Chains A and B, each alone.
Chain A
């Protein structure tokens, strides 16, 4: 007998799952130790999609780094953008106009619906229900088309801006969105008809990946993954941002803390999001969509010089008396049209001048001036016409001031106060936090992202151990991870 046990002794098998696996939602690699069909140990390996977004953010200005956040959680890019913008706004004390807040809430909730639809589609597909996949993408397509209507992109939207949003929403958008909110509640029961009572779905989800409320909190779970265990924690309720304090909504919670409860939570959340959108559309106030903060937002284009007074018609001229020969304009000129020795008055070669006004922007000694309508005039005539920059006509002076600010904002970066802040927002996946340290330069000294997917990927060993191999797939689906956000 002993001999038989020795020969037929079960050995743990070491299996690699991923990183190229269609059901791991990206490039997650799991090393499974399995005893027959039962999981003994799971070790997740992350980092296959690491692009260094946090470090990249430190080499870009606050304005520039916004598209990076699109590429974190690409399934709900809009929510990521909003989280980033809110963190920067709170850091520098920017007050966003009411209308922009409502628009952000609308698009944020649209992103939540789009995200949950994709989650449901892929989760059901992984477990084996393919039909739901097709139905979910039908509605998701509608939302993506609405995104395209307001910002010109479907997935990587880059729609919110620091201090507001990029575009105002057109009336057709509101009409189309209202139609969506009327139709969407009739579509949710369709998905539920397909899987809610389905015996295969119940067998695959009930009692799988159970985690108690206390344990879920200890593991740092957030979002629907936490609420499935019965903890009513929602940042939209507890620390309202944007317009969430002006709308009524409930936070759906589960009881058992298993895969099925988390599925129910997300389904209820879609209904709540739909409600929030409807309330926001009705309450959408008229008003500005951008905050007036010259240090953080771009200048209005129609007040800026090339539009009010086309620079190509004017000539730029250096007043000899005022020029100290510092060489700032010489170095800044993109066309290399400025000549001169150090500490000697410089000269502009008029036939080389592009008329871009970079030199005017850089000069600190009021030596560079503008001669209205002076393009093509000879040097002597320009010297005759030139007046110090503070004596040029008022409207040109004002338009130029705007241009100067615009150039300074882009070329040198904004002047910002020092400080640090951690701001969390409720993205569809959970709590997305941004931590910034500002050292006063135009770029963040440190940008740190608390990605919910990363924390959720850590709980996989706890959820999977003791279950069968097939349940690993259900567990990856239920925690709703996107590896773009996990690895950053």
Chain B
């Protein structure tokens, strides 16, 4: 028995069995599909509700929903939102994107549903001003990324908490068994 073990050990040592096993695994992988994505050419599918660049929501008539109450600026942990009002209108709404940590608390704090986080994550620029979001840019973002059904769905699914979170809703995901 003992000699058998010793022989096995010697064979393993001489023939690099464990290393050959590892190399075989690598060789097997060679014939399977690649898992990497060639980024600028291919793009990942972004999940709905992704916390990307901000946008100011518009209502059905195309007017900005924001009334300028400043709750978003109050709750923002990194204090990157500043709101200005003049003559009963929101004159200034600025987000310093470089400070933003994309926690999404502004969306949750807003009782009017006026701010959203879009699925856009490609907004690099050469100057600070390029990524500094003004009110016009934010409203433009809504038209570009969230207009139509997408915006409606966003508020339905990701503008939380809703009252159904505190009760048992009729449709709720539970384990449906193996497929």
B22 contacts A334, CB within 8 Å? no
A131 contacts B163, CB within 8 Å? no
Interface residues of B in 3-61 (CB under 8 A from A): 13, 18-19, 21-22, 25-26, 35, 46-47, 49-51
Interface residues of A in 180-234 (CB under 8 A from B): 190, 193-199
Confirm or deny: A297 has a beta carbon within 8 angstroms of a beta carbon on chain B. Answer: yes
Residues in chain B near residue A64, CB distance under 8 A? 75, 77, 105
Residues in chain B near residue A305, CB distance under 8 A? 111
A304 contacts B111, CB within 8 Å? yes
**Contact A170:B173 (CB < 8 A) given known A304-B111, A354-B69:** yes
Confirm or deny: A29 has a beta carbon within 8 angstroms of a beta carbon on chain B. Answer: no
**Contact A352:B87 (CB < 8 A) given known A67-B77, A131-B22, A286-B172:** yes
Confirm or deny: B88 has a beta carbon within 8 angstroms of a beta carbon on chain A. Answer: yes
Give the distance in Å from the alpha carbon of A306 to the alpha carbon of B69 in the complex. 12
Q: In angstroms, how far is the closest chain B Cβ from the Cβ of A282? A: 5
Q: In angstroms, how far is the closest chain B Cβ from the Cβ of A160? A: 13
Size band of the interface chain A makes with B:
35 or more
Residues in chain A near residue B105, CB distance under 8 A? 63-64, 67
Q: Interface 1/0s, chain A 412-454, versus B by CB < 8 A?
A: 0000000000000000000000000000000000000000000
A153 contacts B51, CB within 8 Å? yes
Confirm or deny: B83 has a beta carbon within 8 angstroms of a beta carbon on chain A. Answer: yes
Confirm or deny: B176 has a beta carbon within 8 angstroms of a beta carbon on chain A. Answer: yes
Give the distance in Å from the alpha carbon of A198 to the alpha carbon of B117 in the complex. 48
Which 8 A-B pairs give the minimum distances between C-beta atoms? Answer: A356-B69, A300-B163, A197-B18, A352-B88, A171-B173, A67-B103, A152-B51, A152-B49
Chain A residues near B (Cβ < 8 Å): 60, 63-68, 70, 131, 138, 141, 145, 148-149, 151-153, 156, 158, 164, 166-171, 173-175, 178, 190, 193-199, 281-282, 284-290, 292, 297-307, 311-312, 334-337, 349, 351-358, 403, 406-407, 410-411
Chain B residues near A (Cβ < 8 Å): 13, 18-19, 21-22, 25-26, 35, 46-47, 49-51, 67-71, 74-75, 77, 83, 85, 87-90, 101-105, 108-109, 111-113, 117, 157-163, 165-169, 172-176, 178-179
Given contacts A151-B51, A152-B158, 14 further A-B contacts (CB under 8 A): A67-B101, A70-B103, A156-B102, A171-B173, A194-B22, A198-B19, A297-B161, A298-B109, A301-B159, A302-B163, A306-B113, A311-B67, A354-B90, A411-B74
